[in-house]
Chains A and B, each alone.
Chain A
Amino acid sequence: MQAFSNLLEQLYYTSSHNAKAALIIDYLTQTPDPDRGWAIAAIAGTLRFDFFKRNTIKQLILERVDPVLFDMSYEYVGEMSETVAHLWPESEKQDQPLPLLSEIIDQFASASRQSVPSILAGYLNSMDAAQRWALIKLGTRGLRVGVSARSIKQILARYGDKPVEEIERLWHGVAPPYTELLAWLEGKAEAPDISDQITFSPVMLSHPLAIEDVLPWQCKQWQVEHKFDGIRVQLVIQGEDKALFSRNADDISHTFPDLLEQVSGEAVIDGELLVMHDGNVAPFNDLQQRLNKKKPSKKLMQTHPAGLIAYDILKLDNNSLVDLPLSKRRTYLLDWVKEQSSQRIKLSDTLNAESEEALRSLHQHASDDLAVEGLMLKRVDSIYTPGRPKGQWYKWKRDPKLVDAVIMYAQRGHGKRSSYYSDFTFGAWQGEKLLPIGKAYSGFTDEELKKLDNWVRRNSMGRFGPVREVKKELVVEVAFDAVHPSTRHKSGVAMRFPRINRIRWDKPASEADTLDNVMDLIER
């Protein structure tokens, strides 16, 4: 645990990717199994369980610290693990070395629910602030030390001098503490055999389109499809064994059993998950009712049945298709969809755009269908390459909608933005009154963030807990993908993915948009 805590501390304060990689490789060289494998899992986010809940930590700290002071501290620090690490009362330093990382993991894994708080408190007592921080981050599986799941694979590839694609292929078939994988990387064993497992294959991603990317337009080179407004999923079927993965490889099968019932055969399908009524695709709002429900009720599955729009196929009857061009894969996909003969398994249609004008017109009208948020442009000769290869696939989202709104409240951000005021509630006019219509956390540069933060501090009128009310003077141009009627908000509208497009330092608040202007943007 000591070595792991040191590693996290160093990774946290290191900015360059190369230097981070060097630190991790050094750790892998110095640290024995199974500790190093657990560390990899913690960094890559593949630990399967939380050691303790955030609430458990909160209870423990509230037994030791004034709740008011805890709230103020948390609001200021912006991160639970660090707040607790600093606030935990320092006890007499014990000379005993900390247990191994693997011992701590085993202990939490086998602990009964009732005993978790006392085990945790025991460890926190014996640690210094940096170690407490590391343990809480580890135990709640939120490391955030600037090493992504993708870069950890690249680092492993570098460590073992193997192509990263090989690691990506194996990754979802191996589990922490990755003893076999590491042995293979070190040339001490064969590559792990994953042929009998249902695994997720890394997905191919698109780039946002700048129209010049595809000009002059040659329609024969491109497959044009709708970009559906659902969630990207991968369906893996091996006879009776079936699984549905999100694009981050989370297994979400249990949330959508009604979809898995509809499919059969042996295939890996790439597609969009949406709610469908008799073959009609419903907008994202409907799908939202189904997300994050661990066990959906029968009734919900009847009123909001899940369906799939299939757009690619990676594997059929045990044959990998990823090295075939898209045009070829599509013929296999057609066959597979036909075989399913389900109203809720649909093919993503290709669209005709013979000229640049036709393409632009398609883009303009794409969102006439509420379940569509733009176009996808894919090279017909693209092979299925995990990651985000250049020049192969493009997404062309519809143009965002814009309103000028007035900043009303601000709250400090978390993580990287801790202690900056970076979360803003903005409003539109209804007569003489401003009504809040949404919240935005993004869209501005770091430089603008500093200016906004400074503005909030200078123009603060009052506080409600962590929220600062500000003078109703600053106008921001808010961009958003769509706006829906909502009964949950006082203003009666809910925005989808609002972000701050521009800060209108120049514009007087009285000239911001009215709630009626916003209502007019609701699509029906």
Chain B
Amino acid sequence: MHPQEWMSVEPPGLYCKPADIYIDPMQPVAHAIVTHGHADHARSGHGTVYASDDTIAIMQTRYGEEMAEKTLGLAMGEIKQFGDPDDPVLISLHPAGHILGSCQVRIEYRGKVLVVSGDYKRRPDPTCDLFEVIPCDVFITEATFALPVFTHPPIEHEIDKLLTSVAVFPDRCHLIGAYALGKCQRVILGLRNAGYSKPLYLHGALIKLCDFYQSRGIELGKLIPVSEVEDKKTLTGEIVIAPPSALADRWSRSLPNLRTVMASGWMQIRARARQRLVELPLIISDHCDWPELLQTIAEVNPQEVWVTHGREDALVHQSTKMGYTTKALRLIGYDDEDETG
């Protein structure tokens, strides 16, 4: 049976009817699969949440133990049966390479396979497993950076830009805006891999998740909460990391002689950086850039491509040109242009 018969877009989100389960629903539902822990995909208040162990732990870190009535951790590749036992829906999770715990969802029903990519990227990321190419009939892909103007440089290149700036402006405090989950830890690891061994200073909102990463064996080096620094003037010449919203916030005014930095795929567009008064934009993304989106569609090589949140139009156009039956799924509610880029 064609997946369009059993997969639909409902107000809470993407819905698989024969399994009675939503994927990344925006509103509380009875059964939810959550692809990863970013707030626009992982909401609290569901009945049962199915997700990777890491994603469940992240949700509990953010929303508390009571974030759902029941949670069920699935190992990568483990097949779980839903719906009518005589007419089952088989669901399994597979690495998406987006952030720690992120996964794609493979759904098999009556001989057809549909894969929901969730958010994903193809670059190696030491904090999570590499994206897995899963053969399928329908591939639902995200489209956050789906325009040919988006080509992400290697992260080493961007970290090098940052370290050069730190060397050229030794009298300034570099404040990096980075999303608390995923981006922050990737920037820290990028700095460590480039040989930066000094302590890094963190905004309070980043500490719990960094602790969680460290507890999963991801070594982030010495991290010091800014709140524990008595004389903020001593942060001159140091690197501070904060959520993007804190860049222009009162919080940042206590820091000496700021140079504002932002780590995001959006930083490729100059005006985006200017609008946030960013002086040093770092193009570091946890999503695919344009060539990687196209590469992924070609490698997955499905019968059909469905495109969700982001710049659907361009990807629908290009994927159709590549010979795939393609359509846009208008999912409402995902922050298509926020700080998780």
Q: Could you tell me which A residues sit within 8 Å of B by CB distance?
A: 12-15, 65-66, 68-69, 72-73, 76-79, 82-83, 86-87, 133, 415-420, 463
Asked if A72 meets B147 with Cβ closer than 8 Å, knowing A13-B278, A13-B279, the reply is yes
**Which residues in A have their C-beta under 8 angstroms from that of B270?**
12, 79, 82, 133
Apart from A66-B318, A419-B272, 4 more pairs, CB < 8 Å: A69-B314, A86-B148, A419-B269, A419-B271
**Which residues in A have their C-beta under 8 angstroms from that of B318?**
66, 69
Residue of A nearest to B146 (CB): A72
State the CA gap A299–B276 with chains docked (Å).
52
A289 to chain B, nearest CB (A): 36
Q: Could you tell me which B residues sit within 8 Å of A by CB distance?
A: 147-151, 268-275, 277-281, 311, 313-314, 317-318, 321, 337
**Interface pairs A-B: 8 shortest CB-CB:** A418-B271, A86-B149, A72-B314, A73-B149, A13-B279, A73-B147, A69-B148, A68-B317
Instruction: List 7 A-B residue pairs with CB atoms under 8 Å apart, sorted by A's residue number.
Output: A12-B274, A79-B271, A82-B149, A83-B149, A86-B149, A87-B149, A133-B270
Other-chain contact of A82, B269, B313, B317 (Cβ < 8 Å): B269
> Do A416 and B147 touch across chains, with their CB atoms under 8 A apart?
no
State the CA gap A86–B147 with chains docked (Å).
10
Residue of B nearest to A70 (CB): B148
Other-chain contact of A76, B149, B275, B279 (Cβ < 8 Å): B149
> Do B280 and A13 touch across chains, with their CB atoms under 8 A apart?
yes
B149 to chain A, nearest CB (A): 4
Residue of A nearest to B290 (CB): A69
**Which residues in B have their C-beta under 8 angstroms from that of A12?**
270, 274
> Do A69 and B317 touch across chains, with their CB atoms under 8 A apart?
yes
State the CA gap A87–B291 with chains docked (Å).
12
State the CA gap A79–B274 with chains docked (Å).
14
> Do A73 and B148 touch across chains, with their CB atoms under 8 A apart?
yes
> Do B149 and A418 touch across chains, with their CB atoms under 8 A apart?
no
Asked if A78 meets B281 with Cβ closer than 8 Å, knowing A69-B314, A72-B313, the reply is no
> Do A416 and B151 touch across chains, with their CB atoms under 8 A apart?
no
B224 to chain A, nearest CB (A): 28
State the CA gap A87–B151 with chains docked (Å).
9
State the CA gap A258–B317 with chains docked (Å).
54
**Which residues in A have their C-beta under 8 angstroms from that of B271?**
77-79, 82, 415-419
B336 to chain A, nearest CB (A): 8
State the CA gap A361–B151 with chains docked (Å).
62
B338 to chain A, nearest CB (A): 11
Residue of A nearest to B279 (CB): A13
B318 to chain A, nearest CB (A): 7
A88 to chain B, nearest CB (A): 10
**Which residues in A have their C-beta under 8 angstroms from that of B149?**
73, 76-77, 82-83, 86-87
A64 to chain B, nearest CB (A): 11
State the CA gap A83–B321 with chains docked (Å).
22
> Do A86 and B268 touch across chains, with their CB atoms under 8 A apart?
yes
